[in-house]
Amino acid sequence: MQEEKTTPGADAPEAPEVPGMPETAEEPEQQESTALAHDRELACQNCAAPLAYMEGENVITCPYCGTTTMLAGYDNIVKIDGHSMLPIEVNENDAISTLITWLSKGFHRSKSYVAAAKLSSVRGLMLPYWIVKSSASTSWHGKKKRTKSTGTGDNKRTQTWYEPVSGRFDEDFTWPEYARENPDEFWGIANIQPGKKSIFPDWGKFWLRLGGSRESSNRDMLDGKIPFDIEAVKNAGMNENLVNGQITQERAEANARGNIKSHQAKKAESKTDVITDVDTTVNVNKVDLVYVPMWELKYSIDGKQYSALVDGSKKELLSAEYPVSKKAKITLFDIFLGIPAIIAGIIGFGNGVGPAKIAMFVLAGLMLAYSLKKGLGSKN
Ligand SMILES: [Zn+2]
C-alpha cells in the first residue's frame, strides 16, 4: 500500500484555463470517492489540462477532451491517434435488468432468487483494452486411438493401437488484452478473453456439480466501435471511472501472441486423443486502444455476496457469480441417483434379495429424503 502524502482534495483536478473547456458541472469531491488515488501529473497533449495519474500508468486519457497520451519511456510522450470506444448503449437501469433477466432464466438459476437478491453496488466503468486484431494458423500432430475386435467366442480379442493424425485450423481474433496490471481492481474484467471461464456457479455444499459454468466466446471486440467520445462518457456518468492503462501497446501485443497460442493449443487438444506437437503462427494486423464500457454489479442472496459484469454496449451479461437454485440441485440429484436406483431395482427384483436391492432402497431413500428436505424447505 502506498501512503498518500497530499492533503485531501489536492489531487482533484481544478478546471484548467484553456479555451473550449467545458464547465465542470460535477463536484470535484465526487471524483475522490470512487476513483483510484493519483500521485502524478502531466499536461494533456491536446488541451493542456492537468492529468492526474498514478505511478505505473502509461496510457492516460484526458477526462476533459478525451485525448489519450502514451508514456513510452522517459521523455517519450506519444499522443495516440484515433483511439476508440465501444458505444455506451446500456444505462444503469438496463444493466440491473440485464442481470435480473439472466438470474431468472436457465436450468441452474431461479426466479425466486431474484426476489431475494439485494443489490449492493453498481459502477459504470470505461476500461482500456488493447484489441489485437490478428489471425492465427495452427498445425498439430497427434495420435488417435483405434480399436478392433478379432476372433469369435472365447478367442475374441480387442486390439488397440494408435494411428498418427494431423491437422490444421485457422481462426481470426480481435483479442482483448486488458491494459492494466491488476485484474482484481474491478470484478470479472479479465474473464472476457476467449476461452476464459466467465460464469461461476456457487454450489454451496452440493457435490453433484454438473454444468452451470461457461467460457467466454471469441466475439468481435471491434463490432460497432466509434471514435472516442468524451461527451458520451460524461453523459453516461462513466468519466469518474475512466481508467488509465498501465500496459503499453508493445507489451499488450506480446501478451496477446502468447495468450492466443495457449488458446489454440488448448483447442488442438480436443482434436484427438494424444497431441504430440502444436505450432501456431500469429499474424497481428492491428493493435487498437479501445475503451470498453462495462457495468460492475455486486449483489447478495441469503447473505452471500456475488458479482456480475454487464456489457455497456449490448444488454449482455459478460461474467457472473450466482448461487445454483435448490430446484436444479434436486433435479440433478433425482436424475443421477434416481436412474441407478431404478436399474438397481430391476436387477434386484429379478434376483430376489441381494446387494442390488439393498442399494436400490438406500438410493431411493436418500433421494426422497433430499427432495423432501429441500423441496419443503423452500420453493426455489
Ligand atoms: Zn485534454
- How high is the ipTM of this complex? 0.96
Q: Would you state the pLDDT for residue 137?
A: 97
Q: Which residue has the higher pLDDT, 334 or 273?
A: 273
Alpha carbon of 74 to ligand 1 centroid (Å)? 21
Query: What is the 18 CA–ligand 1 centroid distance (Å)?
Result: 10
Q: Report how far ligand 1's centroid is from the alpha carbon of 148 (Å).
A: 72
Tell me the percentage of the chain whose pLDDT exceeds 90: 50
Task: Tell me whether residue 18 is in a domain.
Answer: no
Does residue 277 belong to any structural domain of this protein?
yes
What backbone torsions phi and psi does residue 269 show, to the nearest 5 degrees? -60, -25
Domain region containing 69: 28-82
CA atoms within 13 A on the CB side of 258: 7
Q: Are residues 65 and 116 in the same domain?
A: no
pLDDT at 158: 85
Residues 212, 165: one domain?
yes
**What is the distance in A from the centroid of ligand 1 to the CA of 27?**
19
Q: What residues have CB less than 8 Å from 8, skipping those under 6 apart?
A: 32
Q: Left, alpha or beta for 204 (phi > 0: left; psi -120 to 50: alpha)?
A: left
Does residue 17 belong to any structural domain of this protein? Answer: no
Grid cell of 105 as nine digits: 432464466
Task: Using CA atoms of 6, 9, 11, 13 in order, give the dihedral in degrees to the nearest 10.
Answer: -160
Cα–ligand 1 centroid distance for 236 (angstroms): 19
User: Are residues 333 and 316 part of one domain?
Assistant: no
Q: What is the Cα gyration radius of the chain?
A: 28
Say how many domains are in the chain.
Answer: 3
- How far does the centroid of ligand 1 lie from the alpha carbon of residue 36, in Å? 19
Q: How many residues does the chain have?
A: 380
**Do 261 and 336 lie in a common domain?**
no
Same domain? 61 vs 185: no
Q: Are residues 290 and 176 in the same domain?
A: yes
Q: Is the pLDDT of residue 352 over 80?
A: no
- Cα separation, 128 vs 346, in Å, equals 61
Taking the CA of residue 255 as centre, how many other CA atoms within 13 Å lie in the half-sphere pointing to its CB? 18
Q: How far is the CA of 41 from the centre of ligand 1 (A)?
A: 13
Give residues with Cβ within 8 angstroms of 356, minimum separation 6: 344, 345, 347, 348
184 Cα to the center of ligand 1, angstroms: 28
- Helix-, strand-, coil-residue percentages of the chain, each rounded to 5: 30, 35, 35
CA 21 to ligand 1 centroid distance, Å: 9
- Ion ligand 1: protein residues whose beta carbon lies under 5 Å: 44, 46-47, 49, 62, 64-65, 67
Q: What's the 63 CA to ligand 1 centre distance in angstroms? A: 7
44-50: average pLDDT: 88
User: Which string of DSSP letters, residue by residue, matches 22-39?
Assistant: PP--S-HHHHHHHSPP--
Beta bridge partners of 197: 215
Å from CA of 151 to ligand 1 middle: 82
When pLDDT is averaged across residues 290-297 and rounded to a whole number, the result is 96
Is residue 316 scored above 70 in pLDDT?
Answer: yes
**318 falls within a domain:** yes
Among 324, 344, 367, give the residue marking a domain's end: 324
Residue 36: is its pLDDT beyond 60?
Answer: no
- 118 with 223, same domain: the answer is yes
What spacing in Å lies between the alpha carbon of 132 and ligand 1's midpoint?
26
Same domain? 115 vs 178: yes
Within a domain: residue 159? yes
Q: Are both 160 and 302 inside the same structural domain? A: yes
Residue carrying the nine cell digits 444493466: 95
Q: How much distance in Å is there from the Cα of 70 to the middle of ligand 1?
A: 13
Asked whether residue 305 is domain-assigned, the answer is yes
CA of 47 to the centre of ligand 1 (A): 4
Which of 47, 82, 117 is at the close of a domain? 82
Centroid of ligand 1 to alpha carbon of 82 (angstroms): 14
Instruction: Please give the distance, rounded to the nearest whole angstrom, from the Cα atom of residue 286 to the centre of ligand 1.
Output: 25
149 CA distance to ligand 1 centroid (A)? 75
Q: Is residue 19 part of a domain?
A: no
Say if CB 49 and CB 19 are below 8 A apart: no
Residues 69 and 156 in one domain: no
Alpha-carbon span 27 to 19, nearest angstrom: 21
Q: What is the pLDDT of residue 327?
A: 87
Query: Final residue of a domain: which of 61, 82, 103?
Result: 82
What are the C-alpha distances in Å from 196 to residues 103, 209, 239, 269?
Answer: 21, 19, 28, 16
Distance (angstroms) between ligand 1 centre and the Cα of 16 equals 10
Q: For residue 356, what pLDDT is reported?
A: 61
Same domain for 106 and 74, yes or no, is: no
Predicted confidence at residue 375, as pLDDT, reads 55
Would 14 be classed as within a structural domain? no
Among candidates 285, 288, 282, which has minimal Cα distance to 259?
282
Residue 195 has pLDDT above 70, yes or no: yes
Rounded Cα distance, 323 and 326, in Å: 9
Kindly state whether residues 292 and 348 are assigned to the same domain.
Answer: no
**What distance in angstroms lies between residue 128's CA and the mean position of ligand 1's atoms?**
17
Find the 43 Cα to ligand 1 centroid distance in Å: 8
132: confidence class by pLDDT, cuts 50, 70, 90: very high
